[in-house]
């Protein structure tokens, strides 16, 4: 999910087109807003936001305020409605915390309103560094440096929350969390065998060795917390001066070891020579903090034990490679874009190569 202001990334289409794409009418939305006391009068400037590849995001105005409605994709998956309500529950729980996040307004499981379970949040004004960099980001080295540190600071705030006192004790299964990781993502990779056309496994050199290393070096204990699940620079919205305005895309959030999220950042963060294993790029990259600065900032904020951090970096490479390879498998089966599948396949190979180097270091 990306809540972006219009700088070439918001879909500028008419209301009727927006209604057709998003699967509901402005009249149905208006009636629901009325029932929940969210503004009054007509629903204005209804438009679909670009950037949310898995879910439908619709921005609209009412009574002088801007909102974003989030629902599952037009072709709902088995867990789409449940996932949407989990996100709504978490955002509601984050309301009075210091974690930057979209402000939850209201939600509903009633699919008759917009065709699926959904929730409404206040719109977040800002920019996304991966697709919509601001002029200040491009021009100011200090802003870019601040962006990297703020990315970790926002994560540090999340990692310090106690899910138990927040009423989220059942938001994820903590028992055996670390023990489940290798098997979970190995099974994900194996599931692509359902596509007879998939030839990608032959290119994923060392994936079994990485899994064995992770099993043999698994940390014995962890301090539990809330995990975002896909925390990286493309899943935050920045203010112009470089501070994180909101963490977005909470659909993979759960409970576990928050070092999973720090490992996710570092697994794709460029090395000091500028190389990185993913095709996603942030330009210009110069003056962003290096990996050591990020780790130092996180450690100072959270006081967490970081001795096993490399394990979480390698786990992230392993997990992300398994996820990305799915698009390639579907592309080979004619169910996804071929160019995208090939690009993500190359990224999966590069991630595993990076993980192998770390295993051997």
E-assigned strands of 158-280? 225-227, 236-238, 244-247, 254-256
What is the pTM for the complete model shown? Answer: 0.90
| Residue 284 preceded by cis peptide, ω within 30 | yes
Token pair for 65: 């305020």
Nearest one of 19, 269, 71 to 152, comparing CA atoms: 269
CA-based R_g, the chain, Å: 21
Q: What is the pLDDT of residue 74?
A: 80
Q: What is the pLDDT of residue 76?
A: 81
Nearest one of 256, 231, 205 to 316, comparing CA atoms: 231
Low-confidence spans in the chain with pLDDT less than 50: 1-13, 52
For 86, the 3-state DSSP assignment is helix
Sign (positive/negative) of CA torsion 191, 197, 198, 202?
Answer: positive
Neighbours of 198 (CB within 10 A): 18
Phi, psi of 141 (to 5 degrees): -60, -35
Q: Where are the alpha helices (DSSP H) in 191-283?
A: 207-216, 259-268
Q: What is the pLDDT of residue 211?
A: 98
Give the pLDDT confidence of 164-206 residue by residue, as tens digits: 999 999 999 999 999 999 999 999 999 999 999 999 999 998 9
Cβ pair 20, 143 in contact under 8 A: no
Delimiting residues of CATH 3.30.200.20 domain(s) in the chain: 15-122
Place of tokens 């998003």: 22
Residues 6+ apart with CB under 8 A from 232: 264, 265, 268
Give bridge partners of residue 48 from the DSSP assignment. Answer: 58
Q: What is the pLDDT of residue 7?
A: 37
Q: What is the pLDDT of residue 206?
A: 94
Question: Which CATH number does 15-122 carry?
Answer: 3.30.200.20
- Greatest CA separation found in the chain? 63
Question: Which CATH number does 135-360 carry?
Answer: 3.90.1200.10
Give bridge partners of residue 227 from the DSSP assignment. Answer: 254
Cβ pair 74, 56 in contact under 8 A: yes
Q: What is the pLDDT of residue 26?
A: 81
Cβ pair 108, 117 in contact under 8 A: yes
Q: What is the pLDDT of residue 327?
A: 93
Delimiting residues of CATH 3.90.1200.10 domain(s) in the chain: 135-360
E-assigned strands of the chain? 44-48, 56-62, 65-71, 104-108, 118-122, 225-227, 236-238, 244-247, 254-256
């Amino acid at each position: 999910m990306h809540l972006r202001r219009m700088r070439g990334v918001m879909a500028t289409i008419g209301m009727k087109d927006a209604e057709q794409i998003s699967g509901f009418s402005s009249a149905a939305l208006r009636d629901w807003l009325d029932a929940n006391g969210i503004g009054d009068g007509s629903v204005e400037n209804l438009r679909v936001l670009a950037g949310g590849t898995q879910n439908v995001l619709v921005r609209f105005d009412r009574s002088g305020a801007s909102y974003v409605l989030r629902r599952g994709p037009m072709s709902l998956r088995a867990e789409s409605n449940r996932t949407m309500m989990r996100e709504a529950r978490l955002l509601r729980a984050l309301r009075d915390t210091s974690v930057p996040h979209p402000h939850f307004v209201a939600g509903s499981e009633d699919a008759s309103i917009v065709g699926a379970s959904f929730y409404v949040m206040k719109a977040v004004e800002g920019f996304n560094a991966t697709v919509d960099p601001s002029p200040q980001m491009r021009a100011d080295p200090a802003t870019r440096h601040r962006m990297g540190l703020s990315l970790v600071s926002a994560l540090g705030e999340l990692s310090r929350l106690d899910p138990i006192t927040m009423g989220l004790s059942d938001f994820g299964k903590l028992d055996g969390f670390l023990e489940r990781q290798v098997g979970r993502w190995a099974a994900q990779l194996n599931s692509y065998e359902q596509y007879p056309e998939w030839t990608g496994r032959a290119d994923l050199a060392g994936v079994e060795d990485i899994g064995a290393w992770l099993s043999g070096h698994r940390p014995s204990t962890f301090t539990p917390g809330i995990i975002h699940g896909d925390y990286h620079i493309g899943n935050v919205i920045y203010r112009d001066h470089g501070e994180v305005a909101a963490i977005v895309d909470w659909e993979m959030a759960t409970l576990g070891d928050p070092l999973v999220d720090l490992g996710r950042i570092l697994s794709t963060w460029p090395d000091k020579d500028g190389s990185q294993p993913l095709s996603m790029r942030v330009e210009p990259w110069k003056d962003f903090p290096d990996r050591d600065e990020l780790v130092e900032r996180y450690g100072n904020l959270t006081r967490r034990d970081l001795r096993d951090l490399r394990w979480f970096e390698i786990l992230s490479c392993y997990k992300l490679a398994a996820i990305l390879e799915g698009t390639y498998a579907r592309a080979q089966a004619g169910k996804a874009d071929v160019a995208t599948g090939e690009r993500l396949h190359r990224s999966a190979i590069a991630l595993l190569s990076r993980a192998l180097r770390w295993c051997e270091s």
